[in-house]
Structure 1
Amino acid sequence: MKRNLLLTIFIFCLCQIGLAQSLKKIGTLERKNDSIFVVENGKYYIVNKNVVTVKLKSGIDGFEKAAQKIRSNRLGYIDLVVPEGIDLEKYVSVLEYTGKFDIVEYNNIGQYCVITNDIERSNQWYLNNINAFNAWDITMGSSNTTVAILDSGTDWRHPDIGNGSDGYKNINEQAGWNYISNTNNVITSNGHGTRVTGIVGAKSNNYIGISGISGGNNSVGITMIPFCVGIDAPDGSIIDDAIIDATDSGAKVIQLSLNVAQTNAINAAIDYAVQNNVVIVCASGNNYSSMVSYPASHQNVIAVGATNKSNVRANFSNYGTSLDVVVPGVDIFSTTLNDGYNSQDGTSFAAPQVSGVAALILSVRPDLTGQQVRDVIEQTTQKIGGYSYVTTSGRSNGTWNQEMGYGLVDAYDAVYAIAPRISGPSTVCNQATFTITNLPQGATVNWTCSSGLSLSVPNGNSTATFQSFPDLITNVYGWVQAEIQMGAGGDPSMMLRKENITINKPRIQELIVPAIANTGEVLTFTCTMYTPWNANWTITPNTGFSMNDLGNNSHSHRVFTGRKL
């Protein structure tokens, strides 16, 4: 009822007879769950529900006071506050109906697009395909997140993986193991594992080489532990031991780009890892087959197929009932032996992209279970390639296709879906409460705010209440900010901010005086509302009483006396 009443008021204040002419708009609007997006050139931008931008028609100098202006510019564009309690699309329709505007348009929240400076990044076409650049606006990986690389060994001396001139590394070679030589020296003559390692976590934004999916921002990214499970080919007898050792070493993601015949030992090791909340990612295989290879075919493993540059299944990529997701697997540029770089094809080089995305998710939300990480990866995929994705028994994370699985992994959508963010009103009248959704378990929060607001509850919680400043004489616009201290297991801290909050000047308060009193009787009333020094007070009923403000120099407590006349 309140929303309908508010909408009626705005229609009365703003509307005139006659329909508005067709207005200029860019992009289309689309709803996904509780969010509204502007879709432009296939890219989704979340709509700012607090602000609408308009431009008046020529010859119209202004509009009714019911519309609250935030700012205007010399080109005639005006930003208006969307009144609290009114649906955004309905409000836009009301403004359009007035016929006073050439333009009424939605605003959206964009992203600061991280484009790394690694000199070979232009060869990594797959980064844009899986939306890595936008994901990096949220996180580029935390050293508290560990990924185990079970492969042919890794050249940890490579400057884009281990210590180089930049003075840091993304690999803990001492924690790894070479099961062939029974030493922790995992450097071998086969560059397969070095290539896989670079895709997952080569150092990013460090002016050399490539950008790993979770390689940090010119600083330490994730921590990788390399295991050699066979030099020329993987040894099935080793893989179960390596999975168990990786789990016991604290890995939260295990990366496999291999296939072997199924064994009870490997099945048991996979189950052990999953029971310890480890995400296992494996390549589907390169056999041109309609059956996914093992261990990717295991139900507790994310099976990753390969696509080409046309966003269709690469012809060599195994597919079938066990396939879960796809990412690019053709012309994949990465690190190799002798400090080098080159490109190769294969699902071997698709799977580590998914392992990198899983590491990004855990860098933001270290409290998630392995199943939750898997679910969000599968639920946020892009349905590409013109394939028919359908509801399938046993596939609970969305529509599915046997050649593409749930679809193309989207790094940004996956990370954004679980990332902490601030929710709360767009307007503060006297006080308002803001909450961080998706707050990791065990994290603490330090809240701050702009001028015009003050924190009114103890800090450190996921929810905070702010008061508008008592001496405001006009409305202002401000922000609230939360610094999240993750603790062990994730990024040391994350900074969130909610902008463009309307802070209303305090409203006139009303003191209710009892109407029943004897003539000449002195009455004392106490107001405990939070009030400014310059508040205007009225008496209700306003006849038959006189009132004095005794004023005890407190905003939160004033004492009044009145006498019945």
Structure 2
Amino acid sequence: MRSSIRALAALRRLAAATAATALTASGLTLAAAPPAAADTSAQCSFPAKPYKGRPWALQRVLLNELWQDTDQGAGVRVAVIDTGVDIKNEQLTDAVDAGAGKNFLPKKRKKDETGRTTPRGKPTTDEVGHGTKVAGIIAARPADGTGFVGLAPKATIIPVKQNDANGSGTAGSLARSIDYAVDADADIINISQDTAEALQADSSLEKSVQRALAADVVVVASAGNDGLGGNVKKTYPASYPGVLAVASSDRNNERAPFSQSGEFVDVAAPGVDIISTVPKGGHCADNGTSFSAPYVAGVAALLRAKHGKGADRWTQENIVAQIEQTAERSIPGHDRLVGWGVVDPVAALTEDSKRIDHPVAEEGVETDEKPAPAALELGETEQERNERLGTYVLLGGGTLVAIVAGSSLVYRDWRRRRHPTGSR
């Protein structure tokens, strides 16, 4: 059964592609999650030209099917803890709750190699572009002249500015940002960054994550971009229990080379050549788990919109388990490369007839007894012989009727030639 569902999911992606073608120590710093592979082609200036087509990561999704029972995420609030979200991009102007944003950057911040610091700015400005890209993947509104749109285009973004191009954010400021997001009624928190070093247990960051989870907030975090050469390490906050840790996959549903591996990885999502919104307008492509995490956060927002009310309201544990359970797997269970598999947005929203608390490793494994093989008949059975003879008789009779009818026509034509019209 599971294999047939996966086959249908693959067909859905193919159909969609075809249609779309026409962070105890507050002194620890954060990795600002730069473009994952050292590929300068991923950088761009702002504003940028609009991307006219449908990006490949969206071509895999039948958006109408994805949105049919979710109202496209309306009413769901997603906190983007990042470098700010620029509302001058028209696809984000109406998506951002500017009044709910907050800036946690310290007034005295790190300087770059030239001795300068970037402007502190407002939470609705973004001198780096990182947070604006993240927010677009989640909730960019549709716009003329581009096929790019957020996965939850009616969700609301809460911009929480906590980092900059110089990595001024700390584990402490990230913890305070998470606490703020909970107080601002966030349903989902997206964290596309990680600490530069491992944290001790029971750190202020871990406590803030635990408070968010206890408040029934879905916490999504990028797994990290230090996976080249098979490097395996834990990253924070992605490694904390309850956080949905997201790795990057490529167009072939395989782990992107830069994507961090480890047993803490829960799922993977597209993270190579990802198109999204940039400050002041337009779009750019970028790489990294930073852009895989919001892809999953967008799916989480749709699930919360669909299952967020009433007695059967899904908890954050249910939403995380659903995303893991419906991910497309390369093995029956969990692995350290892509976790439970590559997220399947449509499957997550449509294979949701029951609420689950955790993914099941045995799914996808055939456990029933194999059917007994039919007896091998080397000769012709009596029934087969009778059927064969009956077929011959039927065909023979039909042939005889055709011959007789044909002879009659020939005879009539012969008579017409011998006897002129009007004579017998």
TM-score interval, normalised by the smaller of the two chains: 0.5 to 0.7
Q: Deviations over 1:310-360 (max 9, x none)?
A: 221111000111110001110000011221211011111111000000001
State the 1:415 CA deviation: 1.1
State the 1:197 CA deviation: 0.7
After superposition, the CA RMSD in angstroms is: 3.0
> Which residue of structure 1 aligns with residue 276 of structure 2?
334
Q: Deviations over 1:11-34 (max 9, x none)?
A: xxxxxxxxxxxxxxxxxxxx359x
**Are 1:160 and 2:91 matched, yes or no?**
yes
- The one-letter code matched in structure 2 to 1:43 is L
> Which residue of structure 2 aligns with residue 370 of structure 1?
316
**In structure 2, how many angstroms separate the alpha carbons of the residues matched to 1:135 and 1:121?**
22
Decide which structure has greater strand share: 1
Q: Deviations over 1:216-260 (max 9, x none)?
A: xxxxx0011000012122322211111011011110100010011
> Which residue of structure 2 aligns with residue 211 of structure 1?
149
State the 1:206 CA deviation: 5.3
> Which residue of structure 1 aligns with residue 35 of structure 2?
none
Pick from 135, 138, 144 the counterpart of residue 75 of structure 2. 144
**Are 1:247 and 2:182 matched, yes or no?**
yes
Pick from 225, 250, 257 the counterpart of residue 286 of structure 1. 225
Q: Deviations over 1:341-387 (max 9, x none)?
A: 11011111111000000001011111211000001000001114xxx
- The one-letter code matched in structure 2 to 1:122 is G
Check 1:128–1:134 CA distance in 2 against 1; reply closer, same or farther (3 A cut): farther
After TM superposition, list the pairs within 5 Å mapping 1:29-428 onto structure 2.
Answer: 31-32=1-2, 42-43=10-11, 120=51, 122-129=53-60, 132=63, 134-139=65-70, 141-162=72-93, 169-180=94-105, 185-204=123-142, 208=146, 210-215=148-153, 221-232=154-165, 233=167, 234-260=169-195, 261=197, 262=199, 264-288=203-227, 289-366=231-308, 367-384=313-330, 389-390=331-332, 399-418=333-352
**Alignment check: 8 A CA contact 2:21 2:59 kept:** no
State the 1:41 CA deviation: 9.4
Check 1:116–1:198 CA distance in 2 against 1; reply closer, same or farther (3 A cut): farther
**Alignment check: 8 A CA contact 1:37 1:44 kept:** no
**Alignment check: 8 A CA contact 2:96 2:157 kept:** yes
**In structure 2, how many angstroms separate the alpha carbons of the residues matched to 1:38 and 1:315?**
25
Partner SS state of residue 290, structure 2 = helix
Check 1:245–1:328 CA distance in 2 against 1; reply closer, same or farther (3 A cut): same
**In structure 2, how many angstroms separate the alpha carbons of the residues matched to 1:195 and 1:40?**
31
Percentage of identical aligned residues: 28
State the 1:292 CA deviation: 3.7
State the 1:188 CA deviation: 3.1
State the 1:417 CA deviation: 2.8
Greater relative contact order, per chain length (Cα 8 Å cut-off, separation 6+): 2
**Alignment check: 8 A CA contact 1:114 1:133 kept:** no
Q: Gaps spanning 5+ residues in structure 1: where?
A: 1-30, 46-109, 163-168, 216-220, 391-398, 420-436, 439-565
Q: Gaps spanning 5+ residues in structure 2: where?
A: 23-49, 108-119, 356-424
**Alignment check: 8 A CA contact 1:151 1:256 kept:** yes
Q: Deviations over 1:27-71 (max 9, x none)?
A: xxxx359xx8695694279xxxxxxxxxxxxxxxxxxxxxxxxxx
Aligned length: 300
Partner SS state of residue 350, structure 1 = helix
After TM superposition, list the pairs within 5 Å mapping 1:519-530 onto structure 2.
Answer: none
Check 1:379–1:197 CA distance in 2 against 1; reply closer, same or farther (3 A cut): same
**In structure 2, how many angstroms separate the alpha carbons of the residues matched to 1:194 and 1:120?**
15
> Which residue of structure 1 aligns with residue 42 of structure 2?
none
**In structure 2, how many angstroms separate the alpha carbons of the residues matched to 1:42 and 1:315?**
23
Partner SS state of residue 248, structure 2 = strand
- Identify which range, 254-263 or 344-353, moves more after superposition: 254-263
- The one-letter code matched in structure 1 to 2:304 is L
Check 1:172–1:331 CA distance in 2 against 1; reply closer, same or farther (3 A cut): same
TM-score normalised according to structure 2 size:
0.65
Partner SS state of residue 327, structure 1 = strand
- The one-letter code matched in structure 2 to 1:204 is P
Check 1:116–1:141 CA distance in 2 against 1; reply closer, same or farther (3 A cut): farther
Partner SS state of residue 91, structure 2 = coil
**Structure 1 runs of 4+ off > 6 angstroms?**
113-117
**In structure 2, how many angstroms separate the alpha carbons of the residues matched to 1:353 and 1:123?**
15
> Which residue of structure 1 aligns with residue 396 of structure 2?
none
Q: Deviations over 1:506-556 (max 9, x none)?
A: xxxxxxxxxxxxxxxxxxxxxxxxxxxxxxxxxxxxxxxxxxxxxxxxxxx
State the 1:124 CA deviation: 1.3
> Which residue of structure 2 aligns with residue 456 of structure 1?
none
**In structure 2, how many angstroms separate the alpha carbons of the residues matched to 1:130 and 1:403?**
23
**Alignment check: 8 A CA contact 2:54 2:146 kept:** no
- The one-letter code matched in structure 2 to 1:139 is T
- The one-letter code matched in structure 1 to 2:67 is W
**In structure 2, how many angstroms separate the alpha carbons of the residues matched to 1:150 and 1:141?**
22
**Alignment check: 8 A CA contact 2:101 2:159 kept:** yes
**Alignment check: 8 A CA contact 1:257 1:347 kept:** yes
- The one-letter code matched in structure 2 to 1:230 is N
Check 1:209–1:190 CA distance in 2 against 1; reply closer, same or farther (3 A cut): farther
Decide which structure has greater helix share: 2
Q: Deviations over 1:382-439 (max 9, x none)?
A: 114xxxx25xxxxxxxx111111000101111111337xxxxxxxxxxxxxxxxx88x
State the 1:296 CA deviation: 0.7
Check 1:293–1:137 CA distance in 2 against 1; reply closer, same or farther (3 A cut): same
Q: Deviations over 1:254-308 (max 9, x none)?
A: 0010011425101000000000100000111011222242111111111100011
**In structure 1, how many angstroms separate the alpha carbons of the residues matched to 2:124 and 2:143?**
26
